Structure 1
C-alpha cells in the first residue's frame, strides 16, 4: 500500500505543471472568477478538463492483480491489470469550477477514454468518472470562492465512490476486492491532496494576476491624470499629440496613435516616418472599432500599412467614446502579437474608459463655458438697447451746444461697449478693469441726469488687483440707477466703495433711493424676481456667478429699508490669477 503512495505523490508534479498551464488560458480565468461562460467557452472548458483527466489516466501506475506488480505508464491494459491514477483530479476541478454540466462533460470524455483503455475495471472506472463530475458539480457554489478543504474533501470523496463502484461492477469480485485493498487508500489520499493542490496553484496564479492588474489599473489612473489637462480641451491634433507622447513614455509598446472618426490625429513612436497626422484611416480594423465600439486586436496583415518595411507587427485598437458614441480610437502598436499580454490588454481597456471620461468632461466644460458666455450675453442684452439709445440721444443733443462734452461722452460710450463686448472672452478681470467699465457707464448717466445725480467713489487702489467676473459691478450700479434714484425728487446719490480688508476686498454700491420692501428683499439674488423694470434677473445672475467663482462667502448681501436707500455688497479674495477662455 505504502509503496504505491509515494509514486502517486510524485505524479502530482504533473498535476502542478498542468494546473499552471491551464491558468494561461483566458476561458480558465473566467471560469475561476465564477463568470458566465459562453457556449463555446463551456465546450472548450469541457475539452480541456477532459484532456486533463486523460493525462491523469496515462500517467497512472499499472497494477497486475495476478503478479501483484506495479508498472510505470499505462497505454493499454490486459484483463488482469488495473490503474492507480489521478484522473479524478481533472474531473473534480471541472465540476467545482464550472458546475455539473462541465463536470459531466469532462467525466464523459475521461470516462470513455478509460473504458477503451481496457482492463477488468475499465467499465467501472468509466462510470465512476462520470459520477465524479456530477458529485463535484453538486459542490459548485457560483459566486463564492472555493475552499481548499472543499477540494480536498470532494477529491477524496470522488475517489472513495470510485472504489465502491469498482467493487460493485468489476468482475470477479475477489480480484476487485484485492485491488481496492491495495490501491484504495493511497488513491483516496493522493487524489484528495491533488485536488487541493490543483486549487491552490490556480488561486496563487490568479492572485498574482490580480496584483498585476492592480498595478496596471494604478498606471492607467496615473496616465489619465497626466493626460487630463490635454484631453479636457477635446480631441484635437494638439491634445492627441501630447496625450500620445505621455502614454508612449509610460507604456512599453512600439508606438501610440490616436484618431478621430476619419483621420490620424497623432502618432508617436516607431514608423512615425510614414504614419502621419492628417492621413485618412487606412485599416479596416480601425473602422470596425469605430463602427462596433469594441476592442480589436489586429495582426500584421490587418494593419494594412502601405510601407512594406513597416516595423509594426500588431496593434490593439480601442474606442474613445463620448456618451456611448465612438468619436475616435486609441492604438497601441507592438512588433509581434506575442507582446500583447493579458496585463497589457487590461491596461489598455482601463485607459480607454478613463480617456473617454475625460473627453466627456471636455464636453461638459465646453457646455459650462457656453452657459457662462450665455449669462454674460444675457447681461449685455439687458443693458445694451435702452442705454445705447438714451446715450446717443444725449450725445446728439450736446453736439451743437457742448461739442467737447459730446466728444468725451462718445469716447466713454465707445470704451463701455468695447469692454462690454470683450467680456465673453474672459472668465475673470481685475477690479481695476471693471471699475473703468463702471466709470464710463456712470459718466454717461451723470450727463443724462445733470444736477440730479451725484456719484461718489471711495476706492482703495491697493485692492484693485483682485479678480472678478466681468460685468459684475455694472448690473449692480444699473440696479441702483433704475430702482434707487430715477424717481428721486431731490439729488440722487450713488456711492461705490472698494476697500481692502485683510486678505479680502469688500465692494459695496449704496444709493439713497426709495429702498426695497421686506418681502421682495428676501427674494432678490436667490431667485429670478418678476419685475416690470427687470432687476430680478440681473441680480440673480451676478449672485450665482459670484458664488460659483469665489464661493459661498462671495454672495451678494443686500441691506435696504423702504424710504432709506439700499446697499448691495460682497467680498472677494484679494489675489487670483486671470484666466482666458
Structure 2
C-alpha cells in the first residue's frame, strides 16, 4: 500500500531530524530570545530547502492510469506524479525559522519539483511555495508567543498538504487525471506529512530536553559540590583545601582522577596515578600553561598529558581555568580513560564548578582583605598612645620632679613600660593575661598619681590564670572605659576592681567601678551600635565585644551590668585548648 511505503520514509525524516540537532546554530531556532544573523538564515534556508528536495527524491512515483508505483523518484513523464514528503521539510523550516526561512525553503523545493516534470509539476511547485509561506507566517507569529508543539506541527502539516491537493485539482491538466491522482494519494500524503511534521518537532524537542536535563543535572551536581567545598575554600586555595576539594569531586564523579594547580604548582592530585602525579610538583603539561595564559577551557588526549610513566592509565582530560575577576589563578583537571568519555555533561559540570570556585575564592580574597584592613586598623589603634593621656602623664611627672624626684622617676619608668608594651602588643594576635596585667599596672600607676586619693584600684587575680591568653588590650579597654566614663567626675572614694578568677572550665574577667553608671537605653545599645571611644585607644566596647566573639571560640563577648551605684563589665574565656584559647608556657 502507498501509505505503508510513505510511512517507511519517516525513518529518513527521524534520522535527519536527529542529525540536525547536533548543530548548535540549528538549536538557535528553539531559542526565541536569540537573533539569527543573515548568514545563519541563509544556511538554514538551504538546509530546509534541501530537506524538501530529499523528500521529493525519496517519494514514490505514481501512475494513476497504469496503477503502478516506483519506489524512487526520477524525471517524470506526463502521466506520472510523486507521492512524497517534500512539504514536510518546508513546513518545519517555516514553523521553526519564520517567514523568510519557510518561504525560501519553499521556493528551493518548489522550483526543483517543477523541473522534474510530470502533469502536476506546476501545481506541486506552487503548492510547495504556498506551504512554506503559510508555515512561515504561522511560525513567525508563534515564535513571539509560545514554544512550538508537535500538535501545531501536525495541524499545519496536515493543512498545507490538504492545500496541495486542492491546488493540484485547480491547476493540474487534465483535470480528470488530477482527480484520479488525488483520490489515490490524498489520504496517504496528508496523514504521513502531518505525522512526519509532528514527529520531526517531537524528536528535536526530545533531544533538546535531554540536553537541558543533562545541563540541569550538571548544574545541580556542581551546586552540591560547590556547597560542600565552601568551607574548604573559605580560607583560600592551599595544598590542604585543594586536596579536600579534589577528594569531593573525585567521590561524586566517574573520573579516573581530579587535580588542581595554581599558576605554577600542582596543589593536589586525587585518584588514579597519584603515585607519580604528586602534589607539590611543578606543572608539567604545556596545555595547563596554555589554559592559565588564555583563560579558556580545553580538552586533551593522552599524548598531550605528557606523562613519562609507561603504564599511566590517564588517557584524556578536561583542563578548565579558575578565575578571580577575569584573572586566571588556578586550574581544575578531570582525567578519564579516553577522549570519548569527555561528554557534554562532564564539560558542563567542570564549567559550573570552576565558575563557582572562582566566586568562592573571590569572596575568600575579599574576606581576607577586609580582615587585614580591620586588623591593621586595630593594631594601629593599639599602637597609638592617646595624646591627652601622654600630656597628662608628662605634666604629672614634671610636677613631681621637684617635689618627689623618686616618684617622678618611677612614673617615668612606668610610662616607658606602658608605651613599650602598648607597641609590642599591637603586633600580637593574643597576649597572656600576665602581660595584660603588667600593661594595666603601668597605666594605672600613672593615672593613680594624677588622680591622687580620688581613685583606688583593687586587684583580685588568681595567679594560676595568668598563663592563658586573650586579645591584647582587652582588659585595659575596660579599665580605660571606667576612668573616662564612670569615674571622670568622682571627687573622692572612686574604686576600680579588677577580677580574674578561675571558674573550673572558664576564666572569668571583670572590671567594676563605683561611678555614675548608665541608663538602660545606653546599656542595651552599647554593644550593638558601633560607637567610637572618645578617649583612650579608640577601640571602644563595641569593637572589643566583636573581637572577643571572633577571636575566642565559644565566647559570648562582653556583658554589661550598670546601675546608679556603678558599672560592671565582664567576659569569659574557655580554658581548654580545644575550645580555642591559646596557652603559653
Q: TM-score range by the shorter chain?
A: 0.7 to 0.9
Q: Distance in 2 between matches of 1:55 and 1:97?
A: 19
Q: What residue in structure 2 maps to residue 494 of structure 1? A: 496
Tell me by how many angstroms 1:261 deviates: 4.3
Greater shift in the superposed pair: 345-354 or 102-111: 102-111
SS in 2 for 1:317: strand
Q: What residue in structure 2 maps to residue 193 of structure 1? A: 195
Q: What residue in structure 1 maps to residue 143 of structure 2? A: 142
Tell me by how many angstroms 1:568 deviates: 4.0
Q: Could you list the per-position Cα deviations for residues 59-97 of structure 1 after superposition, in whole angstroms to 9, with x for gaps in the alignment?
A: 322211331322322244333221112222222222222
Tell me by how many angstroms 1:378 deviates: 3.8
Would the alpha carbon gap of residues 521 and 232 (structure 1) be closer, same or farther in structure 2, given more than 3 Å must change? closer
Indicate if the aligned counterparts of 1:560 and 1:567 stay in contact, CA closer than 8 A.
no
SS in 1 for 2:198: helix
Q: Distance in 1 between matches of 2:520 and 2:193?
A: 88
Q: What residue in structure 1 maps to residue 105 of structure 2? A: 106
Greater shift in the superposed pair: 440-449 or 262-271: 262-271
Indicate if the aligned counterparts of 2:265 and 2:283 stay in contact, CA closer than 8 A.
yes
2:169 matched to 1:155?
A: no
Q: Distance in 1 between matches of 2:320 and 2:33?
A: 23
Q: What residue in structure 1 maps to residue 123 of structure 2? A: 124
Q: Distance in 2 between matches of 1:373 and 1:73?
A: 84
Tell me by how many angstroms 1:230 deviates: 3.4
Q: Distance in 2 between matches of 1:305 and 1:158?
A: 60
Aligned counterpart in structure 1 of residue 25 of structure 2, from 27, 43, 49: 27
2:420 matched to 1:420?
A: no
Residues 358-437 of structure 1 mapped to structure 2, 5 A cutoff: 358-382=360-384, 420-421=425-426, 423-424=428-429, 435-437=433-435
Indicate if the aligned counterparts of 2:530 and 2:543 stay in contact, CA closer than 8 A.
no
Indicate if the aligned counterparts of 2:291 and 2:319 stay in contact, CA closer than 8 A.
no
Tell me by how many angstroms 1:221 deviates: 1.9
Residues 223-234 of structure 1 mapped to structure 2, 5 A cutoff: 223-234=225-236
Q: What residue in structure 2 maps to residue 429 of structure 1? A: none
Aligned counterpart in structure 2 of residue 215 of structure 1, from 194, 214, 217: 217
SS in 2 for 1:139: helix
SS in 1 for 2:119: coil
Structure 2 unaligned regions, length at least 5: none
Q: Distance in 2 between matches of 1:274 and 1:551?
A: 41
Would the alpha carbon gap of residues 204 and 579 (structure 1) be closer, same or farther in structure 2, given more than 3 Å must change? farther
Q: Could you list the per-position Cα deviations for residues 484-507 of structure 1 after superposition, in whole angstroms to 9, with x for gaps in the alignment?
A: 446654243113467999x99986
Tell me by how many angstroms 1:224 deviates: 1.7
Would the alpha carbon gap of residues 44 and 547 (structure 1) be closer, same or farther in structure 2, given more than 3 Å must change? farther
2:132 matched to 1:133?
A: yes
Indicate if the aligned counterparts of 1:528 and 1:536 stay in contact, CA closer than 8 A.
no
Q: Distance in 2 between matches of 1:134 and 1:57?
A: 18
SS in 2 for 1:509: strand
Q: Could you list the per-position Cα deviations for residues 463-490 of structure 1 after superposition, in whole angstroms to 9, with x for gaps in the alignment?
A: 9999976643331222213444466542
Q: Distance in 2 between matches of 1:505 and 1:30?
A: 68
Q: Distance in 1 between matches of 2:581 and 2:132?
A: 69
Q: Distance in 2 between matches of 1:491 and 1:522?
A: 28
Q: Distance in 2 between matches of 1:555 and 1:91?
A: 78
Structure 1 unaligned regions, length at least 5: 427-432
Greater shift in the superposed pair: 151-160 or 330-339: 330-339
Q: What residue in structure 1 maps to residue 8 of structure 2? A: 10
Indicate if the aligned counterparts of 1:261 and 1:290 stay in contact, CA closer than 8 A.
no
2:325 matched to 1:323?
A: yes
Tell me by how many angstroms 1:366 deviates: 0.9
Q: Could you list the per-position Cα deviations for residues 35-80 of structure 1 after superposition, in whole angstroms to 9, with x for gaps in the alignment?
A: 5265465455444434433333233222113313223222443332
Residues 286-297 of structure 1 mapped to structure 2, 5 A cutoff: 287=290, 290-291=293-294, 293-297=295-299
Tell me by how many angstroms 1:154 deviates: 1.0
Q: Distance in 2 between matches of 1:535 and 1:325?
A: 40
Would the alpha carbon gap of residues 567 and 231 (structure 1) be closer, same or farther in structure 2, given more than 3 Å must change? closer
Residues 169-568 of structure 1 mapped to structure 2, 5 A cutoff: 169-261=171-263, 265-267=267-269, 273=276, 279=282, 283=286, 287=290, 290-291=293-294, 293-298=295-300, 303=304, 305=306, 314-334=316-336, 336-382=338-384, 420-421=425-426, 423-424=428-429, 435-448=433-446, 449=448, 452=453, 453-456=455-458, 471-485=473-487, 488-496=490-498, 508-513=510-515, 526-529=529-532, 531=534, 533-534=535-536, 537-545=539-547, 557=560, 559=562, 565-568=566-569
SS in 1 for 2:328: strand
Q: Could you list the per-position Cα deviations for residues 184-213 of structure 1 after superposition, in whole angstroms to 9, with x for gaps in the alignment?
A: 233122211222222223333333333333
Count of residues in Structure 1 that have an aligned counterpart in Structure 2: 559
Greater shift in the superposed pair: 466-475 or 117-126: 466-475
Q: Distance in 2 between matches of 1:511 and 1:115?
A: 107
Q: Distance in 2 between matches of 1:465 and 1:82?
A: 105
Q: Distance in 1 between matches of 2:92 and 2:164?
A: 16
Q: What residue in structure 2 maps to residue 87 of structure 1? A: 86
Indicate if the aligned counterparts of 2:18 and 2:204 stay in contact, CA closer than 8 A.
yes
SS in 1 for 2:62: strand
SS in 1 for 2:579: coil
Tell me by how many angstroms 1:458 deviates: 6.7
Tell me by how many angstroms 1:538 deviates: 1.9
Q: Could you list the per-position Cα deviations for residues 10-45 of structure 1 after superposition, in whole angstroms to 9, with x for gaps in the alignment?
A: 333333343334334433444334352654654554
- With the length of structure 1 as denominator, give the TM-score of the two structures: 0.77
Would the alpha carbon gap of residues 481 and 530 (structure 1) be closer, same or farther in structure 2, given more than 3 Å must change? closer
Q: Could you list the per-position Cα deviations for residues 267-311 of structure 1 after superposition, in whole angstroms to 9, with x for gaps in the alignment?
A: 5566774798554575368536643x443445677x484869787
Would the alpha carbon gap of residues 259 and 173 (structure 1) be closer, same or farther in structure 2, given more than 3 Å must change? farther
Would the alpha carbon gap of residues 33 and 78 (structure 1) be closer, same or farther in structure 2, given more than 3 Å must change? same
Tell me by how many angstroms 1:460 deviates: 10
